[in-house]
Amino acid sequence: MSLTITPLSSALGAQISGVDISQPLSVEQRDAIEQALLNHQVLFFRDQPLTPQQQARFAAHFGDLHIHPIYPNVPEQPEVLILDTAETDVRDNAIWHTDVTFLPTPALGAVLSAKQLPAFGGDTLWASGIAAYEALSEPLKRLLQGLTATHEFIKSFPLERFGNTPEDLARWEETRRKNPPLSHPVIRTHPVSGRQSLFVNDGFTTRINELSESESEAILKLLFAHATRPEFTIRWRWQENDVAFWDNRVTQHYAVDDYRPQRRVMHRATILGDVPFFR
């Protein structure tokens, strides 16, 4: 194989070259990319123009795909959702979040493809939950181990922004009915690497269940700030046809909303994961 992996920071991130991900992957290519994802948590591919069908095929090498209940999707490829600032209010992406943690089995990962970019702005940042966890003091690690937190769909998808037409309201109410609040461990064990990671995020986490309301608020505020310290993050400046592939089990990300009124169009394929656990 000619696949080349170039690390971009100590905490997370690597650029991958020498592979055309618009084509079906060989077993060797697939395994090498998966190992790179485990090692680096978010991977970047330059100059990879993908059709929705090719994007879905690449993502499906790593698991079954999710169809998002709220965002619009590509009609002929519903597993690929469309993040288009000209059509949809995507400000909930401009907050540190881990995708769809309101699901019992949150996403394993996601593949994001840049289709139309502003002349300036529109970067995305990722943060490593592994680096953040490992930097905690031992007493705080012991406090957090075994705790659980509530994650809620409506925190990032409030009714006032996503229920403004009869069709949108019906979709929102159906999604809320199918996705009641649920709990995940505050510290998650990666199911493949066995490494431990913070698994709370400002996008969907509402409280730590075993603590009082005031204690939960204070601890979550501390963890949200700690998890996104610059030394645990990487910032990607997009070029057209760039592709990012991240491990959603151990990262958060933030799409910087600094380019209005310019337009930004991204396509995302989301790979379903498993039930989070702590061991």
From the list 190, 207, 253, 267, the catalytic residue is 253
Instruction: Name the maximum alpha-carbon separation found in the chain.
Output: 54
Domain coordinates in residue numbering, the chain: 2-125+229-269, 131-225
- End-to-end, the C-alpha distance of the chain in Å comes to 36
Residue 52 confidence (pLDDT): 97
Residue 42 confidence (pLDDT): 98
Residue 203 confidence (pLDDT): 92
The rounded distance, in Å, linking the Cα atoms of 148 and 131 is 20
Residue 72 confidence (pLDDT): 85
Residue 32 confidence (pLDDT): 96
2-125+229-269 and 131-225: identical CATH topology = yes
Residue 234 confidence (pLDDT): 98
Measured CA to CA in angstroms, residue 226 lies from 96, 101, 127, 217 at distances of: 12, 19, 10, 14
From the list 97, 151, 188, 207, the catalytic residue is 97
Check: CATH 3.40.50.740 for 131-225? no
Residue 162 confidence (pLDDT): 80
Residue 235 confidence (pLDDT): 98
168 assigned to active site: no
Check: CATH 3.40.50.1240 for 2-125+229-269? no
Residue 169 confidence (pLDDT): 87
97 assigned to active site: yes
pLDDT in tens, the chain (279 residues): 589 999 999 999 999 999 999 999 999 999 999 999 999 999 999 999 999 999 999 999 999 999 888 888 899 999 999 999 988 777 777 899 999 999 999 999 999 999 999 999 999 999 999 999 999 999 999 999 999 999 998 888 888 778 778 888 888 888 888 889 999 999 999 999 999 999 999 999 999 999 999 999 999 999 999 999 999 999 999 999 999 999 999 999 999 999 999 999 999 999 999 999 998
From the list 68, 207, 267, 268, the catalytic residue is 268
61 assigned to active site: no
From the list 99, 202, 242, 247, the catalytic residue is 99
40 assigned to active site: no
Residue 1 confidence (pLDDT): 58
The rounded distance, in Å, linking the Cα atoms of 226 and 230 is 9
